[in-house]
């Protein structure tokens, strides 16, 4: 089905911002419910008002990676967003769909940093009070980014689960609206606009899209849109070896809680994939690849060599996974897209990245 015909046929299906399947656990393996969920998600993606605050980022050829790997590598530059991350898309989509009464109460969230900055900018744009709970391990550059946009920052817990519990308690105590960082249909819809842009920017051969995975908002949205219009394209998630909540959930056939998560790639340090996210990922994500810290650092260096920009560790995961996929499959002459999801890295951590990158990756 073409995009234009889908828009016409789905415009009357569900109101913008509403989910036809509010309980993701009801989807299960029912083919009809799966297709309804897919149509619902794509409908929401197409109506997401992301360009009020975000930009259409370039899909940039990576000449050095292309030459080294024997496949055309394209980098989706979400690190160029106003908050240096794709997260502004989902945060703004969710907040823009709140009622006037809900906006007046203010919003709260928990985030390792990028969703926090996205929500802070969204709230600032709409004149809404925002409270952001961040783990104490959050890089200082992300904390500053949130505060600079007028939001109140509360540091709590060593990792995301503790910050999340605290934020949910605040929402109930103060009457604030909780804005999920990933487990919400509107947030998934906003992130899914990345997939819209990729297919619009590259209409020819496209063999696989590599997507970093934390809670699953980005990959759920991209997978839904891409698989609806181009089911031939592989959608591949990439997670750190020590934070592979989606990979373990797919293996188990249900969501699992990791006993602990690594914090080097702090933007994806999530112990459990989101419920709405897993309802989509279990059917439309082809596989998940895990990468080591050294492989992530090497990918960060590779991105710098091609773009002269520095991503954060979670922003380099997709390239690390792409490289591992090519080595495993021994494929050539394919077209592969990697989502560079963010660039909020502490400058002080670059020494460690340089040291670890020297042990892996492409030669200069």
The answer to whether residue 195 is domain-embedded is yes
- The secondary element (H helix, E strand) that includes residue 291 is strand 287-291
The answer to whether residue 26 is domain-embedded is no
d(CA 299, CA 324): 10
pTM of the model: 0.89
Q: Which pLDDT value is given to residue 344?
A: 82
Tell me the residue range of the domain where 93 lies. Answer: 87-178
Task: Determine the 3-state secondary structure of 258 from DSSP.
Answer: coil
Residue 102: partners with Cβ closer than 8 Å, 6 or more residues away: 177
The answer to whether residue 298 is domain-embedded is yes
Q: One of 54, 85, 87, 227 is an active-site residue; which one?
A: 87
The answer to whether residue 288 is domain-embedded is yes
Q: 176-203 in b/e burial notation, b at 16+ Cβ within 10 A? A: bbbbbbbbbbbbbbbbbbbbbbbbeebe
Q: Which pLDDT value is given to residue 5?
A: 34
Question: With bands split at pLDDT 50, 70 and 90, how would you rate the model's confidence at 138?
Answer: confident
* Residue finishing a domain among 145, 178, 211: 178
Is 134 in the same domain as 210? no
Q: Is 83 exposed, middle or buried (0-12, 13-18, 19+ CB in 10 A)?
A: buried
Is 136 in the same domain as 270? no
- 148 catalytic? Reply is no
- The secondary element (H helix, E strand) that includes residue 163 is helix 160-174
Give 337's strand partners. 74, 209
Helix 217-229, helix 31-46: angle, nearest 10: 100
Is 159 in the same domain as 268? no
Q: Which pLDDT value is given to residue 351?
A: 82
Does pLDDT of 333 surpass 70? yes
Does pLDDT of 23 surpass 50? yes
The answer to whether residue 213 is domain-embedded is yes
Q: Is 116 exposed, middle or buried (0-12, 13-18, 19+ CB in 10 A)?
A: buried
Question: With bands split at pLDDT 50, 70 and 90, how would you rate the model's confidence at 362?
Answer: low
Is 325 in the same domain as 216? yes
The answer to whether residue 15 is domain-embedded is no
d(CA 36, CA 34): 5
- Per-residue pLDDT tens over the stretch 275-331: 999 999 999 999 999 999 999 999 999 999 999 999 999 999 999 999 999 999 999
| Cross-sheet strand order for the sheet of 208-212 | 59-61, 72-77, 335-340, 208-212, 234-240, 287-291
How far does CA 225 lie from the centroid of its chain? Answer: 14
Residue pair 200/225 in contact by the 8 Å Cβ criterion? no
Does pLDDT of 45 surpass 50? yes
Strand 72-77, strand 335-340: pairing:
parallel
Strand 72-77, strand 59-61: pairing:
antiparallel
Residue 146: partners with Cβ closer than 8 Å, 6 or more residues away: 113, 116, 117, 120, 132, 134, 153
Residue pair 184/107 in contact by the 8 Å Cβ criterion? no
Is 267 in the same domain as 163? no
Q: What is the mean pLDDT of the chain?
A: 90
Is 346 in the same domain as 284? yes
Return the number of other C-beta atoms located less than 10 Å from residue 300's C-beta: 27
Q: How many structural domains is the chain composed of?
A: 2
- 87 catalytic? Reply is yes
* Residue finishing a domain among 178, 194, 226: 178
Return the number of other C-beta atoms located less than 10 Å from residue 9's C-beta: 12
Question: With bands split at pLDDT 50, 70 and 90, how would you rate the model's confidence at 360?
Answer: low
Residue with the larger pLDDT of the pair 237 and 1: 237
* Residue finishing a domain among 178, 203, 231: 178
Is 227 in the same domain as 306? yes
The answer to whether residue 303 is domain-embedded is yes
Q: One of 85, 96, 314, 341 is an active-site residue; which one?
A: 341
Is 333 in the same domain as 261? yes
Q: What DSSP state is assigned to residue 119?
A: H
Is 62 in the same domain as 146? no
Is 208 in the same domain as 160? no
The answer to whether residue 43 is domain-embedded is no
Which range is least confidently modeled, 129-143, 266-280, 346-360? 346-360
Whichever domain contains 215, its CATH number is 3.40.50.1100
Is 99 in the same domain as 221? no
Is 123 in the same domain as 207? no
Does pLDDT of 14 surpass 50? no
Which range is least confidently modeled, 38-47, 59-68, 354-363? 354-363
């Amino acid at each position: 089905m073409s995009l234009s015909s889908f828009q016409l046929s789905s415009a009357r299906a569900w109101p913008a911002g509403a989910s036809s399947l509010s309980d993701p656990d009801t989807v299960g393996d029912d083919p009809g419910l799966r297709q309804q969920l897919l149509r619902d998600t794509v409908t929401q993606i197409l109506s997401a008002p992301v360009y009020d605050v975000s930009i259409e980022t370039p899909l940039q050829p990576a000449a050095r990676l292309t030459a080294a790997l024997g496949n055309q590598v394209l980098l989706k530059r979400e690190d160029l967003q106003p908050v240096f991350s794709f997260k502004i898309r989902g945060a703004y989509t969710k907040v823009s769909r709140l009622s006037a009464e809900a906006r007046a109460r203010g919003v709260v969230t928990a985030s390792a940093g990028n969703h926090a900055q996205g929500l802070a900018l969204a709230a600032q744009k709409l004149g809404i009070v925002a409270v952001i709970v961040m783990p104490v391990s959050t890089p200082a550059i992300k904390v500053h980014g949130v505060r600079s946009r007028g939001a109140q920052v509360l540091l709590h817990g060593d990792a995301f689960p503790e910050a999340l519990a605290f934020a949910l308690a605040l929402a109930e105590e103060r009457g604030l609206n909780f804005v999920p960082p990933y487990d919400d249909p509107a947030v998934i819809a906003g992130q899914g606009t990345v997939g819209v842009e990729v297919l619009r920017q590259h209409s020819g051969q496209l063999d696989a899209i590599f997507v970093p995975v934390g809670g699953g908002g980005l990959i759920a949205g991209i997978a839904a849109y891409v698989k609806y219009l181009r089911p031939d394209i592989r959608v591949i998630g990439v997670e750190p070896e020590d934070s592979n909540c989606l990979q373990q959930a797919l293996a188990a056939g249900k969501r699992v809680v990791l006993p602990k998560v690594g914090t080097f790639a702090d933007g994806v340090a999530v112990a459990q994939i989101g419920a709405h996210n897993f309802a989509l990922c279990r059917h439309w994500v082809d596989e998940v690849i895990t990468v080591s810290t050294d492989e992530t650092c090497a990918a960060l260096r590779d991105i710098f060599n091609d773009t002269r920009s520095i991503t954060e560790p979670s922003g380099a995961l997709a390239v690390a996974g792409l490289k591992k996929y090519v080595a495993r499959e021994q494929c050539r002459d394919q077209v592969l897209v990697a989502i560079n999801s963010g660039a909020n890295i502490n400058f002080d951590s670059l020494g460690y990245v340089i040291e670890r990158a020297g042990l892996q990756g492409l030669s200069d």
